[in-house]
Structures are given as structure tokens and as C-alpha cells.
Chains A and B, each alone.
Chain A
Amino acid sequence: NAGVTQTPKFQVLKTGQSMTLQCAQDMNHNSMYWYRQDPGMGLRLIYYSASEGTTDKGEVPNGYNVSRLNKREFSLRLESAAPSQTSVYFCASWEGGGLVGYTEAFFGQGTRLTVV
């Protein structure tokens, strides 16, 4: 039971380079999320997907794009990396939705990204 798997775990990029962070969950959850964690800022929501085929902006979406490839996978893309995007990125999933009782959110181990 892998839960939520993120790749890569570590990445160093040069300013202006692009990359995609991958996330996959094996719990058949509808909702998936991308957060960034910065010192003193807690977790801030970048984008989320309440169901396959839908995506919505969170608190800090600028500079990012997402793709909900299927129910399992939700990727985060940085088209032109900037030093301000140096952070730890977490993917999460849970069985959300108004008609379904809440279950806990499961988090990946995180991707530590440094942009130089």
C-alpha cells in the first residue's frame, strides 16, 4: 500500500528551466492537491483537483500549471522556474466531496526544490 507517491524527492533547477513534479495515489481518491511549504508560512495551496477532469486555483497558483491526467495522477509543472519557487512541495489526496463522509488526507513525502 504505497499511498501517495511523489517524484522526484530532490531537484535543483537553474532559473528559467522547466520541470514537472509527479504525484500518484493508489487509494481511488477523487480529490488531489498540491501545496508548497515555506518556513514561517505553513502549507499554502497551489492547485487542487476535486475530481478527475477538474482543476482549480488555490492560494498561490502563479507560475504553476497542473494536469489531472487520470484519477490516480496529478502533476505540477513549473514552466520557467524562479528562485521564489524554492520550496518543499507536497502532494495530497483524500476522498472529499459533499456527499461522501470525510476521510483523512494522505500526503506524499515531499519534493525539495531549489532554484538557483
Chain B
Amino acid sequence: GDSVTQMEGPVTLSEEAFLTINCTYTATGYPSLFWYVQYPGEGLQLLLKATKADDKGSNKGFEATYRKETTSFHLEKGSVQVSDSAVYFCALSDQGRDDKIIFGKGTRLHILP
């Protein structure tokens, strides 16, 4: 079945450092890809998305490009802030086949001032 694999955490960085969180996927169809973020004590909220190959999703300085050839959707940010500390989830949905949203295990990010 479909699955998402993302890098293990926690990831600890200093403020203003460059961030990459790796995500790869396995899917039989043509999925849409997402990054969700979870702040402490809250539910998940959508950070960005891409619905077809070579699309780039972006929001709040974060970016991710849908790479079909490498089945990847890595999350990047050029200069992280303390307020970016959260858990980040990569996810996919093959809405042409069913309506399930499949999540990776999440990566906890700590940003030090």
C-alpha cells in the first residue's frame, strides 16, 4: 500500500540555520503531497501542498518540490526561527483512488535561540 517515510527526529538547529527534512513516498497512483505542522498541544494544520509532479508548495518561508523521479517531497527553509519549533508531518493522498490521507511518523524540530 501507499506509504510515507520521513527522517527521524528530533532535529535541533540554531536560529537562522538552514532546514531540510527529508520525505519519500511510495504510491501506486498519482498522489497529492502535503506537509502538515503540529504545534504543542494542538491539532495538525496544513503547511503546504503540491498536487502534481514538479509543483512547488510554499508557505511561511517553507518550500517543498514534488519530485516524481525520486518520489520525494523534502521540506526546506532558508532561515529558521524559534517559532518554527514543532512536529512536521509529510503526507500523501491518492484522491483518485480513495480518500485516505497517509502520514509519515513526524519529525520533531527544536530551534535554539
**Are B104 and A90 in touch, CB under 8 angstroms?**
no
When distances are taken between beta carbons in the complex, the residues of chain A under 8 Å from B32 are 102
**Are A92 and B106 in touch, CB under 8 angstroms?**
no
Segment at the A interface, from B12-20, B64-72, B73-81, B91-99: B91-99
B25 adjacent to chain A (CB < 8 Å): no
Most buried by B among A43, A96, A104: A43
Interface size on B, residues (CB 8 A): 24
When distances are taken between beta carbons in the complex, the residues of chain B under 8 Å from A110 are 42-43
**Are B104 and A31 in touch, CB under 8 angstroms?**
no
Rounded to whole angstroms, the CA-CA distance of A24 and B86 in the bound complex is 26
**Are A42 and B96 in touch, CB under 8 angstroms?**
no
If the complex has contacts A96-B95, A102-B49, A102-B93, are A107 and B103 also in contact, measured as CB distance less than 8 A? Answer: no
**Are A97 and B95 in touch, CB under 8 angstroms?**
yes
B83 adjacent to chain A (CB < 8 Å): no
> Which of A96, A97, A104, A108 is in CB contact (< 8 Å) with B49?
A104
**Are A58 and B105 in touch, CB under 8 angstroms?**
no
A109 to chain B, nearest CB (A): 5
When distances are taken between beta carbons in the complex, the residues of chain B under 8 Å from A48 are 99-100
Residues of B within 8 A of A (CB): 32, 34, 36, 42-46, 49, 51, 89, 93, 95-106
New contact pairs (12) apart from A30-B99, A42-B104, A102-B95, CB-CB < 8 Å: A42-B103, A48-B99, A56-B98, A58-B100, A92-B101, A94-B99, A102-B32, A102-B49, A105-B44, A105-B46, A107-B45, A109-B42
Residues of A within 8 A of B (CB): 4, 30-31, 33, 35, 40-45, 48, 50, 56, 58, 90, 92, 94, 96-98, 102, 104-105, 107-110
A sample of 20 cross-chain residue pairs with beta-carbon separation below 8 angstroms, ordered by A number, consists of: A31-B99, A33-B101, A40-B105, A41-B105, A42-B106, A43-B44, A45-B100, A45-B102, A90-B43, A92-B101, A94-B101, A96-B99, A97-B95, A98-B95, A98-B97, A102-B51, A104-B46, A105-B44, A105-B101, A107-B45
